[in-house]
Amino acid sequence: MPASAAKQLDHKQRAAEQLLDHYRSNARVLPWRSPPGTAPPDPYRVWLSEVMLQQTTVKAVTPRFERFITRWPTIEALAAASDEEILGEWAGLGYYARARNLIACARDVAKRGGFPDTADGLRELPGIGTYTAAAVAAIAFGRDSCAIDTNIERIVARLNALKDKAAIRAAAEAMVPAGRAGDFAQGMMDLGSAICRPKAPECRSCPLQDECASFALGRPEDFPERKTRQARPHRHGLAYWHERDDAIFLVRRPEKGLLGGMAALPGSEWRHGQAPDDAIATIRHGFTHFTLDLHIVESGAAPPNRGWWQPLAGIDEAGLPSLYKTAVERVLSGRAGKSPVQSPRNA
């Protein structure tokens, strides 16, 4: 092996050891984890947490994860639950395609009699991509797989002053210590969350500071390459308010598409257009690819054929996603003289 290559390998090995030392002393206590150096956690818990954590914070996920585990303590229990029960429990976590994939995956795993124990096998399951497969294989099964999410990509890019994605992946793979891929992945996740943050990283507190090329350059925030954000188009939609006997009429959205299978107020397609003059409330909401003004309009017509009357006293039991839950709240608060307009938020 050339001397330069050996030196690079030593650099990556040193960084990995320093990370593991830091993780042993500073690991977050999370309900889906086992303490560093102990037996791997239940694959069901690891998989469920990874699905929930996609584009959602640990703070938001933790109580919802605990509710799921209490209600469905095994993959078999989750697989046996109805779509409506699971979608209702998921309500408020956003990115609802995850919930539909969760249902399909749980039923597939239950049929198989358990999770595959390799990254390749896990990738065959519905809704499991390259990162999730590698993370579950490493954390739950002790496989030497390299899980690369945005946190890990950012740390490796800064550590080596890299911007090319292929080079970042190669550097990350070279860092994974044999037999300790699970602790390595979780240590990187913790480091990216608390110290090597996208903005204002706490470099002086970083255990990898001495090995970090971007710190030596004084430009850690230059790595990895920043993405240019494009303006999102804006759309309008109508939601119809049918009320009788202290209940409102709800429907279930089509299985495919945004908020698929979730409870909702009946309404129109979300298209470009203008606000109606007779809206009793307007909810501004941000989705990944567009922003939306959902206008709530009182309807004197008969409600759709398919749906149900949900008592307002039990509206929290309907499993409404954030958009429609906020819509109901704003209509009711508008009656009390409060502003009917809700500030923007992301799905």
At residue 237, the pLDDT reads: 95
Angle between helices 130-141 and 181-194 (to 10 degrees): 120
At residue 346, the pLDDT reads: 43
Q: Where are the domains of the chain?
A: 3-222, 234-342
Look up the CATH number of domain 3-222.
1.10.340.30
Helix (H, G, I), strand (E, B) or coil at 184: helix
Rounded to the nearest 10 degrees, how much is the dihedral formed by the CA atoms of 17, 122, 133, 34?
-50
All residues at 6 or more sequence positions from 115 whose CB lies less than 8 Å from its CB, including other chains = 43, 44, 47, 75, 109, 122, 125, 136, 140
Chain segment 151-174, per-residue pLDDT in tens: 999 999 999 999 999 999 999 999
Torsion 39-40-45-49 (CA) sign: positive
Q: Which CA distances in Å does 40 have to 34, 35, 74, 183, 192?
A: 6, 9, 16, 10, 22
**Inter-residue contact 207 to 18 (CB < 8 Å):** yes
Write down the pTM of the prediction. 0.87
Chain segment 20-60, per-residue pLDDT in tens: 999 999 999 999 999 998 999 999 999 999 999 999 999 99
Please say whether the structural domain 234-342 has been given the CATH code 3.90.79.10. Answer: yes
* Beta strand 308-311 pairing with 247-252: antiparallel
Q: Which of 50, 89, 153, 211 is flagged as catalytic?
A: 50
- Say whether 50 is catalytic: yes
